[in-house]
Structure 1
Amino acid sequence: MARIVVIGATGHIGSYLVPRLVRAGHEVAAVTRGASKPYADDPTWAVVERVTLDRDLLEKQGEFGTAIAALKPEIVIDNICFTLASASQLAEALIGKVQHFLHIGTIWTHGFSEVVPTPEDVTKRPFGDYGIQKAAIERYLLDLARRRGFPVTILHPGHIVGEGWSPLNPAGHFDDAAFATLAHGKRLALPNFGMETVHHVHADDIAQLMMLAIANWGASTGEAFHAVSPGAITLRHYAEAMSRWFGHEPNLEFLPWEDWKSRQSAENAESSWGHISRSPNCSIDKGRRLLGHVPRYSSLAAVQQSVSWLIANGKLSI
């Protein structure tokens, strides 16, 4: 078993990953910026080493990578890296010092969907700062693997879902009012014909894929894998399925983008455009083939678990 340092250990992915690592017998050091709690309680956290590091400050001082290396990890998992400068500072400090480095990317490295389901190895044309930076990180890390043997594995999640936070909703944004509208049987407006796609993934399925990548070092290093549910869903199907889950027949209307946008807050409209303009629909064949990954949750099952948590905890009134 290995000593594993998890950066961003109490976030969406880490909340499910850290207990899996402990139960598998690994020694885990959980790195966070403060005394944050994981989204899901689990008794395994009692044996986890907690390490507080201010990544932003240490990176400005050029010391974050050396601070992680000083923890003497055999494996490092980075859940919260968003810029090439951040990735390179950490990776350079770990070359020759770790057996495995796992980085969380994003399916937004693809930009617009072209071939669907989209495999990992298509030419990527990302847009927007987030996708562009994440694609640059991927190129850098995979090049480091080829040139210098850096043992990196990259996982590209879709829209992450789990207990403790609001999922991406059928209107393509994160305002829970869309779920409340459906729960009360009221009419929900969707942009265009509702045929754009979104691709969720339960955080625990990302954790499962991470465990498989660690267990199958030879097949996973130097590779990138999508971490998504078995199938993307259209906004229309998503809204119809959730309506029926709440006990109502669908009550939807479809509006041209500009008309729909005019009815939304600027924040919701921007979020929806970011998601539907990409309309992700990603293949998981590579992870299934090389690592044996079979996600437990469909997109809808993941969302419904998350919404059930919102209802049970008074975050969503139905």
Structure 2
Amino acid sequence: MQRICVIGGSRYFGKLLVERLRAAGHQVTVINRGSSTPPAGVEHLVVDRDDEAALVAALGWRTFDVVVDQVCYTPVQAAVAARVFGGRTRRYVMTSTIEVYDPATAALPALPPGGPVSEETVDPATWRVAMDLPWHDAAYLEAHYAEGKRQAEAVLTRAGGFTFASVRSAHVLGGGAREFTGRLAHYTERIRRGEAVAVHEDPLPTVFIHYAELADVLLWAATGSDFAGPLNACSDGQLDVRDLAAAVGGSVGREPVYRMVDAGAPASPFSVDRPYAMSNARAKSLGYPFTRTADWLPGAIAEALTAPTAVPTT
């Protein structure tokens, strides 16, 4: 049994992670602002993680074997976490994102031509941190989500006081009504109604992961492995937006209709016009066996089609 602290963990794969940690016999503490109550047997600390003094007071004497941070979006939040949890935990795992590799959001090293992106493409140990940017402004943060994640990783990498690992998640699908982003529902609803899906003329492939598999990767990163640094998490098999739409079309019995948009223009979710699909080779070398996207995608589409919260999307 290990003492695990999950910051966030109130919905989707974070909630499932908490359930699986508890089922595995670990002593779990969840920190959030009270948006939801964790399962029975899980300690719940209601506090704003951005309020450093309140967080220290809420933690009191507690120490942990591992902290899993599901909701770290900025270097400011990362700096607070580094100060508060330095000396309180031996290991700190942050959920990060494929978006750190998006060349549209930062000047990155040359990406491998036609090949998936490996972790060293974005090295948090050398990434510049700018604490004075308006990270507390919600609109700024939304527009700079990828950079916020890159800088948060950078701060925690350099913090010391614990071993730091980041799990860079692919695009997450599955869970039906649990999938709160509505990105898969965008396709199921439009294609079911025969409406056009906006895509780039020459979409590039990207990578995905099922929400339950991501919970499993985080469980392994927290309790089953001691790796440090960034790690890409994606199922095997790249898909482009037309592959995804075709899979949805096959499930609903309709041929997808497309509306072409120019390169750089807004399009439907997962229509990618720049190369940054991830490689999961590092995780595999460390012993994590990923599933194949083609194996779980039909079930995820079926869940989206029957989810009670599925609504028309624009």
TM-score bracket for the superposition, by shorter chain length: 0.7 to 0.9
Gaps of 5+ in 1: 39-44, 262-268
1:256 aligns with 2:261: yes
1:218-261 CA distance string (max 9 Å, x none):
3x1x221112221331011111121012223x243342328x96
* 2:117 alignment partner, SS class: coil
Deviation for aligned residue 1:98: 1.0
* 1:286 alignment partner, SS class: helix
Of 155, 160, 171 in structure 2, the residue corresponding to residue 159 of structure 1 is: 171
| Conserved 8 A contact 2:284-2:290 | no
User: 228-237 vs 207-216, which deviates more?
Assistant: 207-216
Of 144, 152, 159 in structure 2, the residue corresponding to residue 129 of structure 1 is: 144
Of 180, 202, 207 in structure 2, the residue corresponding to residue 199 of structure 1 is: 207
- Aligned twin of 2:72: 81
- Aligned twin of 1:21: 21
- Aligned twin of 2:222: 214
1:34 aligns with 2:34: yes
- Aligned twin of 2:272: 276
Equivalent position amino acid for 1:86 in 2: Q
Deviation for aligned residue 1:86: 0.8
Deviation for aligned residue 1:271: 7.0
Deviation for aligned residue 1:103: 0.8
Equivalent position amino acid for 2:280 in 1: I
Residues in 2 aligned to 1:66 and 1:298: alpha-carbon distance in whole angstroms: 44
* 2:12 alignment partner, SS class: coil
| Conserved 8 A contact 2:201-2:262 | no
* 2:120 alignment partner, SS class: coil
| Conserved 8 A contact 2:28-2:42 | yes
Equivalent position amino acid for 1:76 in 2: V
- Aligned twin of 1:180: 189
Of 111, 118, 136 in structure 2, the residue corresponding to residue 114 of structure 1 is: 111
* 1:101 alignment partner, SS class: strand
* 1:81 alignment partner, SS class: coil
1:316 aligns with 2:310: yes
Deviation for aligned residue 1:31: 1.8
The normalised TM-score by structure 2 is 0.78
Deviation for aligned residue 1:121: 0.8
Equivalent position amino acid for 2:284 in 1: R
1:87-135 CA distance string (max 9 Å, x none):
1111122222212111111111112282221111124699951111211
| Conserved 8 A contact 2:248-2:301 | no
Residues in 2 aligned to 1:138 and 1:216: alpha-carbon distance in whole angstroms: 21
Equivalent position amino acid for 1:30 in 2: V
* 2:6 alignment partner, SS class: strand
1:46 aligns with 2:51: no
Task: Work out the percentage of aligned pairs sharing the same amino acid.
Answer: 21
Residues in 2 aligned to 1:7 and 1:156: alpha-carbon distance in whole angstroms: 17
Residues in 2 aligned to 1:106 and 1:254: alpha-carbon distance in whole angstroms: 28
Deviation for aligned residue 1:27: 0.7
The normalised TM-score by structure 1 is 0.78
| Conserved 8 A contact 2:200-2:273 | no
Residues in 2 aligned to 1:3 and 1:166: alpha-carbon distance in whole angstroms: 28
Gaps of 5+ in 2: 104-109, 129-141
After TM superposition, the runs of 4+ consecutive aligned structure 1 residues lying more than 4 A away are: 123-128, 166-169
1:102 aligns with 2:96: no
1:142 aligns with 2:157: yes
In structure 2, relative to structure 1, the CA distance for the partners of 1:123 and 1:79 (3 Å cut) is closer
1:8 aligns with 2:16: no
Equivalent position amino acid for 1:16 in 2: L
Residues in 1 aligned to 2:225 and 2:184: alpha-carbon distance in whole angstroms: 40
| Conserved 8 A contact 1:166-1:306 | no
In structure 2, relative to structure 1, the CA distance for the partners of 1:251 and 1:82 (3 Å cut) is closer
Residues in 1 aligned to 2:223 and 2:36: alpha-carbon distance in whole angstroms: 29
Deviation for aligned residue 1:149: 5.6
1:57-90 CA distance string (max 9 Å, x none):
x24xx44356446433222111001111111111
- Aligned twin of 2:106: none
| Conserved 8 A contact 1:197-1:232 | yes
Deviation for aligned residue 1:217: 4.1
1:181-206 CA distance string (max 9 Å, x none):
3224x253432325233422222212
User: 156-165 vs 84-93, which deviates more?
Assistant: 156-165
Equivalent position amino acid for 1:161 in 2: L
Residues in 1 aligned to 2:268 and 2:148: alpha-carbon distance in whole angstroms: 18
- Aligned twin of 1:232: 238
Equivalent position amino acid for 1:53 in 2: V
